[in-house]
Amino acid sequence: MTGNKEDRYEEALEELKDIAKQFYEQLEDGEVPNMKIPTRSKSNIELDRRKGVWRLGDSKTSRSAKKLKSARMLLRTLYMLELIQDMIEAGKSSTLREMYYISEGWEKAEFSKQSESDSLAEDMELVTGCLREDFKLRPEEDGARLIGDITVEEINRKGDVRKINCRDDVGDSGYTIPYNVESDKVTFSDVNVDFMIAIETGGMFDRLVENGFDESANALLVHLKGQPARATRRVIKRLSEEEDIPVMVFTDADPWSFRIFASVAYGAINTAYLSDFLATPTSEYIGITASDIMSYDLPTDDLSKNDRKALEQELEDPRFDTPFWKEEIETMLDINKKAEQQALAKYGLDYVTDTYLPEKLEQVGMM
């Protein structure tokens, strides 16, 4: 995952070719082609106690040509491999969505939804130990942003280094995080913030920007934009580790927001093999908690059936197996309510920056 860019592509290609070689040899031996892929499920993640992140366990799933569906996946693997080979040779790259459309020409190997092709790309990372960027595949630009007094040095398309101060050199929408945030592309300098707040919704991000919270609290504001993209999580992780900036996570109070926190802090189940690389286990959840709903008397909605189901699942999720989360989840189930970040506006537009956040940050010793 490190080293010279071109070498990385070559390395990735060799790893991928090994898959094809494996199929070929299986067929030569009169066997049914198959590949073993580590199982990506809740039941197969383990806590790395030393690093504090949740990683993939040892259990593996076999994908064999005995079944139509898996046979098709094996064939797709080969097609994808060919595509990657072509892209490396031509010096091009494609987005995950583009790859999905390219597959329309693959006849029997065509994908029926993009989630299938995305998932296969993840499988290939998993089997080869490479990153999808090494395969010349990148996600759609998701445009997550940050604002605060740090300076980013980014190498642009022309190969020039651009220095951007994320408070002074940007507009109200902030610095847009590119999909590649590795050190060959992005480095940090002049970090003048005490901590960062990763915010779930764009509305709340904009509220804090308008209220000037980045300056008044000396904070870096990061917009998560729902379930955060890899690049967003990677930036958070790098800033936390390289620049020693504490990470606060601020989301809605509902089961799905809890999962957003989990993926920032502990790693997502789907990409648990990348947790070392993406998760920031020192992250603090500052709210909105289920107990906040009651203590701040916030406007709420009732939990839907799906919400309740999601909470029940979280009670089974090893990542939430801590006294804090157990209690929060059970409280939410008890009161059967959820609330949005913007519910704080009940007490005025400044309430969040003047009262709520200072109180919550004080509780974790940040203010």
Partner 1 sequence: MASIAEELAEKQQEISVGEFFERNKHILGFDSLTKALVTAVKEGVDNSLDACEEAKILPEIKIEIEEVNDREYKVAIEDNGPGIVKRKVPEVFGKLLYGSRFHEISQSRGQQGIGVSAVVMYGQLTTGKATIVRSKVKEKDYANEMRITMDTKKNEPEVLDEEVVLWGGKEHGMRFETTVKGLLRRGKHSVFEYLKNTAIVNPHARIEFDRDGEKTVFKRATDQLPEKTEAVQPHLKGIELGTLAKMAKNSKRRTLKSFLKHEFSRISYSKAEEICEEADIDKKKNPSDLEVEDCKRVLKAAEKVKLMAPKTDCLSPIKGMLIKKGLKNVLKGQHPEYYAPPSTRDPTVYSGNPFQVEVGLVYGGDLPKEGSVKVLRFANRVPLLYKKGGCAVTTAIKNIDWRIYDLDQRGGKGMPSGPVVILVHVASTRVPFTSEAKEAIADIPAVIDEIEKGLRECARSLRTHLNKEKKRRKVKKKFTVVNDILPMIAKKSADIVGKEPPELSKSMTKIMGVVYIEKGYEWNDGRCKVDIDIMNYTPKDKDMNLFFEKPYPETELLSSNLEPDYQGDHLEWRLEGLKPSEKKKISLEFDGDLEKDDMAGTEIYIEGVTETKLIGAETLPDDWDIELAEIEERG
- 71 lies in the site for partner 1, by CB under 8 A: yes
Indicate the residue among 51 and 66 with the shorter CB distance to partner 1: 66
Least separation, in Å, of the C-beta of 102 and partner 1? 15
User: 91-130 mask for partner 1 (x: CB under 8 A)?
Assistant: -----------------xx---------------------
| Binding of partner 1 by 78 (CB under 8 A) | yes
Sequence-ordered list of residues with C-beta below 8 angstroms from that of 290, at least 6 positions apart, any chain: 253, 328, 329, 331, 332, 335, 337
**Which one of the listed residues 101, 266, 273, 351 is annotated catalytic?**
101
* Contact of 361 with 286, CB cutoff 8 Å: yes
Task: State yes or no: is 266 an active-site residue.
Answer: no
Using the contact rule CB under 8 A, the part of the chain among 31-39, 283-291, 300-308, 311-319 near partner 1 is 31-39
344 touches partner 1 (CB under 8 A):
no
Nearest distance from C-beta of residue 266 to partner 1, angstroms: 37
Q: Does 65 bind partner 1 (CB under 8 A)?
A: yes
Least CB distance from residue 65 to partner 1, whole Å? 6
Q: Which residues are CB-neighbours of 68 under 8 A, at least 6 positions away?
A: none
> HSE on the CB side for 145, CA within 13 Å?
20
Q: Which of 5, 21, 36, 309 binds partner 1 (CB under 8 A)?
A: 21
Q: Does 20 bind partner 1 (CB under 8 A)?
A: yes
Task: Decide: 96 and 117 in contact? Cβ < 8 Å.
Answer: yes
Residue 188 near residue 153 (C-beta atoms within 8 A): yes
By the rule CB under 8 A, 36 interacts with partner 1 = no
**1 and 130 Cβ atoms separated by less than 8 Å:** yes
Q: How many residues can be counted in the chain? A: 367
- Asked if 17 interacts with partner 1 (CB under 8 A), we say yes
Minimum distance between the CB of residue 117 and partner 1, rounded to whole angstroms? 17
**Helix axis angle, 305-316 to 323-335, nearest 10°:** 160
How many C-beta neighbours within 10 Å does residue 25 have? Answer: 11
Give the β-pairing of 53-56 and 34-38.
Answer: unpaired
Segment contacting partner 1 (CB under 8 A): 64-72, 139-147, 195-203, 271-279? 64-72
Burial zone of 164 (CB within 10 Å; 0-12 exposed, 13-18 middle, 19+ buried)? middle
**Catalytic annotation, residues:** 101
Q: Which residues bind partner 1 (CB under 8 A)?
A: 17, 20-21, 23-24, 26-28, 30-33, 65-68, 71-72, 74-75, 78-79, 81-82, 85, 108-109
